[in-house]
Structure 1
């Protein structure tokens, strides 16, 4: 069985999940390969592809001229026209919004011809949806790593509710392109990372009524170490007698993550011993002296120290397609306070944390409940490992691939 994974990149959160799945498949004897537009790692089984359609040329000078021409409004093909329109709106509203029209026709790539099953992952900005679904007749498994496959250009339904007015024409046009292209595919199976994602797919006309299997994201427990709490605090320079919470996101200003609400929850709790460790780019003004900003962290050992040093990890996001940081915290034996989004709704209970609403008061009350309980850190890690370890995830994918081929 030959499996080809297609994704924008082998890096980032979605890329890490993909690569964990891919390597576990290889270890289980499956012939697995990866095709990306942006290769960040050095894995020899990952192939990088360059643009091959709607381009004026591959010379660096020509590519630069094409970019400048688009900015000036000189559009000679559909790709240029759609991206010019997106650019004009994004100058005012900087949110993720992707066109289904790209410069990459992957349908005739040699790896596509080689594969028995094609597993799509996060492909926004890479796979040209019309050409791919028109030309590829092999079984396709699409792992939904965000909601963009079921939307026009938006990546989350919540963002669409807020900004639809500004993107209305493009959103409707892109959604119609996807409806025609994806709707014509008779060999498409869906993988949802959570029950919430499967529910979303059931509400999309061209994704509903297709085989839809819940398989959790593959996250390696070996990447995260459960340190003793005092040991972790000592290494991070934190008082062992403090009450420590942690919060992680790329940008602290990202409203979806509700950092402001967490700060207000701290004020409601009013305990001067309460410290908040924040991981991510600090692009907001913080006046609370009990908030400790650590900046962006890519080193997994240091992230493990942050999680392990915490009495609780707080993740009150408004929306998540999965929620990788929740699993990372559980791997470190740390209980989690989370809104019921992404995977949290299915795995957080009284044995490893608490679910909460998104208001500061609700977040504060959930933090208070968790801090008042005692938890078995080893058991928290063990239960998370059973659900998310790459080998266990890969076995579920193998069963799905076999079923897809059989059908």
Structure 2
């Protein structure tokens, strides 16, 4: 079985890392898997950039052109948008390859255009890392608005505050025309995203299977807490709350603005405040620090797996206050390192934190409940809690087990006639 995974890159961003881990896990169990990207930054011979410099230039120029066009639309939804108007030329290469099946991942940033996706003549599995495959131009729907993907982007569902051309609706119509006769075999890392795809007008008929993101449990594993803290120059006698994400303190979807009052409430708790400090990775210390009532250690950005395992192992609890998310790598990594997690009960979080042995969930947007959940997890932190988190990760997120689930899906698909 020969499979080609397609993603814009193999390293930058959560979708890229998840896609690369899926690809590597499949190679471990004997699948002839390759990963085709536009921008190659990893020293991995199984990851190829088949279009070379020409593809990179086309993608960069296409991305710039899309950004210019998108600037005409004024929308309350500030998440990343992609028109799918330009592509780097990968469809022709994919069709000429010896692959039995193509597994798409995050193909925005002019990696594949809507038309190029339609032109792929091999069976397609599409691992959905966000909502773009079945939405308009947006990668996540507006939290406060109506789910426009469900009604086909009618004028009535557009936010009253939006202005300019409705590019989201335009992209949706282009997808519907181009993909009308195609079948995509969807893989969703979370039950939530699978349900959103099923409710959408575009993908309601598409077959879909929920398969978690995988992780190398030999890389992400519990390390000695005292040694981890010593290596990072962190206090040994404090309970450490960890928060981190790409653009962790500036992306409102990541919920830092809700974590702030929750931590301030925690700081006022006489049982928690004096003994608790905060760790933040993915962001530098701001020029004007926010008064959280707790000492804060800004760790900066890390891309090394060992460094990340150290950070997770040093913490007592990992907090993800996202208001919208699929199946974040950060929680998978934290659990694999034996660190319990606290999050809002949104998106794929219930798939990760299934019971109190793995942490706690708070009602979406409820700051007081988030503070109470952090305090409760801190109160029961210890070796037993860490062991339970690790066992949960071993049972659900091992990259080889995820790979076997994909292989079974691929085998079913390859028995079917191509549509």
TM-score by length of 2: 0.84
Q: Report whether the alignment pairs 1:9 with 2:9.
A: yes
Alignment partner, residue 174 of structure 1: 171
Match of 2:333 among 328, 332, 342: 328
Moved more, 156-165 or 41-50: 156-165
Alignment partner, residue 384 of structure 1: 393
How much has 1:121 moved relative to structure 2? Answer: 0.6
Runs of 4 or more consecutive aligned structure 1 residues displaced over 6 Å after TM superposition: 57-60, 90-94
Contact kept, 8 Å, 2:283 with 2:300, in 1: the verdict is yes
For 1:293-348, what per-residue CA distance to the aligned partner results, in whole angstroms no more than 9, with x for missing partners? 11112222222222112221111100112111111111111111111234321231
State the secondary structure of the residue aligned to 1:107. Answer: helix
Q: Alignment RMSD, CA only?
A: 2.9
From the superposition, tell whether residues 111 and 26 of structure 1 become closer, same or farther in structure 2 (CA, over 3 Å): farther
Match of 2:378 among 371, 382, 389: 371
How much has 1:37 moved relative to structure 2? Answer: 1.2
- How far apart are the structure 2 equivalents of 1:167 and 1:388? 44
State the secondary structure of the residue aligned to 1:158. Answer: coil
Match of 1:128 among 100, 108, 113: 113
Alignment partner, residue 297 of structure 1: 302
How much has 1:119 moved relative to structure 2? Answer: 0.7
Alignment partner, residue 123 of structure 2: 139
Unaligned runs of 5+ in 1: 71-78
Unaligned runs of 5+ in 2: 147-157
Contact kept, 8 Å, 1:51 with 1:104, in 2: the verdict is no
- How far apart are the structure 2 equivalents of 1:82 and 1:287? 36
Matched residue count: 388
Moved more, 355-364 or 83-92: 83-92
- How far apart are the structure 2 equivalents of 1:297 and 1:58? 28
Contact kept, 8 Å, 2:22 with 2:399, in 1: the verdict is yes
From the superposition, tell whether residues 299 and 28 of structure 1 become closer, same or farther in structure 2 (CA, over 3 Å): closer
- How far apart are the structure 1 equivalents of 2:255 and 2:112? 32
**Within-5 A mapping of 1:21-170:** 21-50=22-51, 83-89=67-73, 95-109=79-93, 112-125=96-109, 126-133=111-118, 135-158=119-142, 161=145, 165-166=162-163, 169-170=166-167
- How far apart are the structure 2 equivalents of 1:305 and 1:377? 14
Alignment partner, residue 210 of structure 2: 214
Contact kept, 8 Å, 1:100 with 1:177, in 2: the verdict is no
How much has 1:87 moved relative to structure 2? Answer: 4.0
How much has 1:89 moved relative to structure 2? Answer: 5.0
Contact kept, 8 Å, 1:253 with 1:283, in 2: the verdict is no
From the superposition, tell whether residues 160 and 360 of structure 1 become closer, same or farther in structure 2 (CA, over 3 Å): closer
How much has 1:48 moved relative to structure 2? Answer: 1.2
